[in-house]
A = this chain, B = another copy of it.
Amino acid sequence: MNKYNYQDYLDFNLKISDLNGISSLLQWDQEVFMPKESMNGRARQIAGISGIIHDLYTSQYYCDLLNNLENDISLNKTQKLNVKLSIKDLQRKICLTKEFVEELSSAISNSYAAWEEARSKKDFKIFSPFLKNLIALKKKEAEFIDKSKEKYDVFLNEYDAGLKSSELKIIFENLKPQLISLLDQIEKKEKIDISITNKSYPTNKQWDFGIEVLKEIGFNFNSGRQDISTHPFTINIGEKDIRVTTRIVENNLNEMIWSCLHEGGHALYEQGLQSKTYGIPEAESCSLSIHESQSRLWENHIGRGLSFWKLNYKKLQDLFPENLIDIELNDFYKIINSVSKELIRTNADELTYHFHVIIRFEIEQLLFQDDFNVDNLPEIWENLYFKYLGIKPENDENGILQDVHWAHGSFGYFPTYTLGSLYAAQFYEHAKRNIENLEQKIANGNFSELSEWLKSYIYDKGRLYTSEEICISSTGESLNSQYFIDYAKKKYGEIYAL
């Protein structure tokens, strides 16, 4: 007889997920509504709930429960898969001592504060010693987690199970020359004038348009909502409660539209996952790469596509006639797809974006080499930007200090952005092959077949399959960057008449 059954496992994980949702609500509120003087109290509340979750999650009870279920022959295949992943998750958690977790967490807090100061003073040297310390700790962490793997690969796996830097290298090496050639051709063409997007777009009208777009693509406002925050994000607050935020800038039409569609794509995935049993791996997202594929599919393949604007451009013109009445649909389409080599990753277009990622990937591999000197980073950064994009940052703020990821101890995160784009291109191409006249349907506002396709091939898989497995089952092959290249060549070939 087993001491525990599958229902105990479900109950326990529901409890943990409810508590994680509470932690998310505390963070969401902090970003969106919290009055500023409450910062200290809120930090304490978040730390308090984290401690409670940690104690419960690493309790002997749960360990016994999982050990018991591991050998429970009455479980079906799906149940076994869920339990197996939960065991892996727990092992990952308990391989680190409490002392080490606290040391790392404190190093991250200090490193974040130093990064903020360094950034405001545009001086990497302020951040440098903290980054060195953090990397030393992350090396230790990698050893605790899995001695048998390359350290950097350990972190890649945090975001995308099974991902290897050796495979990433091959993918990126294939991407680089083709993208460089495309960018070279575009550079020879006349620049697209995008000044129209910087006219005045009253924020309340932008907000209304964003809400309509979210409704259009299928975001369920009965189990989610949108608010405003400085940095747009998607967050899971609890069962049937997925929230997105957007940023609205009066003199920049782009901010709101793309953040709405990007976070909307993440949120559709999260809402789609909630048809499974809440709290266990089958109802969790597969990986950061697949998550990002969903945001980019909606942001780029739909949102920056001509069909979407056939459907929506008239509405946008009606909202802002003073700015857009004389701009034709085709010109608007070109404007929102203009390509330009810029210093800041988050402002980058669909093509140059990947060099921002490749540069960070190449640097991250160096960071985990034994003899690497962190002090050389600004110079390496500068050289790589010049090598790939022909531009150089004027200072550290526009260069090496622009992203928060490393200060937060997140290494191996950046590649998932590019993987997301590559997956998105592959998924979207296969969706088009599977759904008759998909582009026409989008132009008519009919997203239902695409939603169904995503649901059955991606959402419904939860975390029970790897990125690779989801890719093969939905497209018949492993990740193949040629889909993205073909998409880019066709789209930008037309826009720039290459």
Q: Which residues of A contact B (CB under 8 A)?
A: 14-15, 18-19, 21-22, 25-26, 29, 33-38, 40-42, 44-45, 48-49, 52, 220-225, 227, 237-241, 278
Task: Check B38–A238 contact: CB distance below 8 A.
Answer: yes
B29 touches A25 (CB 8 A): yes
Contact A41 B29 (CB under 8 A): no
24 contacting pairs across A/B (C-beta < 8 A): A15-B48, A18-B41, A18-B48, A22-B26, A22-B48, A33-B225, A33-B227, A34-B241, A35-B222, A35-B224, A35-B225, A36-B222, A37-B220, A37-B222, A37-B240, A38-B223, A38-B240, A38-B241, A41-B241, A41-B278, A42-B241, A44-B239, A45-B238, A52-B52
- Residues of B within 8 Å of A36, CB to CB, are 222
Say how far A64's CB is from chain B's closest CB, in angstroms: 20
Give the shortest distance, in Å, between A178 (CB) and chain B (any CB): 44
Contacts of A33 in B (CB 8 A): 225, 227
Q: How far is the CA of A38 from the CA of B25 in the complex (A)?
A: 13
What is the distance, in angstroms, from A283's C-beta to the closest C-beta of chain B? 12
The answer to whether A45 and B18 touch across the interface, beta carbons within 8 angstroms, is yes
A41 touches B239 (CB 8 A): yes
In Å, the complex CA distance between A37 and B18 comes to 15
- A41: nearest chain-B partner, CB-CB: B239
Residue of B nearest to A45 (CB): B18
Cα–Cα distance between A392 and B15 once the two chains are bound (Å)? 50
Q: Are B239 and A40 interface neighbours, CB within 8 A?
A: yes
How long is the Cα–Cα vector from A15 to B45 in the complex, in angstroms?
Answer: 8
Residues in B whose Cβ lies below 8 Å from that of A44: 14, 18, 239
| Nearest chain B residue, comparing its CB with the CB of A49 | B22
A221 touches B35 (CB 8 A): yes
Residues of B within 8 A of A224 (CB): 35
Tell me how many chains of this kind the complex includes. 2
- The complex places the Cα of A227 from the Cα of B19 at a distance, in Å, of 25
Chain B residues with CB under 8 Å of A35's CB are 221-225, 240-241
Chain B's closest residue to A22 (CB) is: B45
CB pair A42–B222 under 8 Å, yes or no, is no
Give Cα A225–Cα B33 distance, bound, in whole angstroms.
8
A309 to chain B, nearest CB (A): 29
Among the listed B22, B40, B227, B238, which residue makes an inter-chain contact with A22, where contact means beta carbons less than 8 Å apart? B22
In the complex, besides A21-B45, A25-B26, A41-B241, 5 extra interface pairs with C-beta distance below 8 angstroms are A18-B45, A22-B48, A35-B224, A36-B222, A38-B238
Q: Find chain B residues with CB under 8 A from A26 CB.
A: 22, 25
Among A15, A29, A40, A41, the most chain B Cβ lie within 10 Å of the Cβ of: A41
Asked if residues A223 and B21 are in contact (CB atoms below 8 Å), the reply is no
Distance in angstroms from A289 CB to nearest chain B CB is 28
Q: Which residue of B lies closest to A19 (CB)?
A: B48
Most buried by B among A44, A220, A221: A44
Q: What is the distance, in angstroms, from A316's C-beta to the closest C-beta of chain B?
A: 24
* Chain B minimum-CB-distance residue to A278: B41
Min Cβ gap A343→B in Å is 35
Cβ distance A40 to chain B, nearest Cβ, rounded Å: 7
Within 8 Å CB of A45, what residues of B?
Answer: 18-19, 21-22, 238
CB distance from A367 to the nearest CB of B (A): 37
Q: Shortest beta-carbon distance, A226 to chain B, in Å?
A: 11
Residue on B nearest A52 in the bound complex, by CB: B52
Note all chain B residues with C-beta closer than 8 A to A29.
25, 29
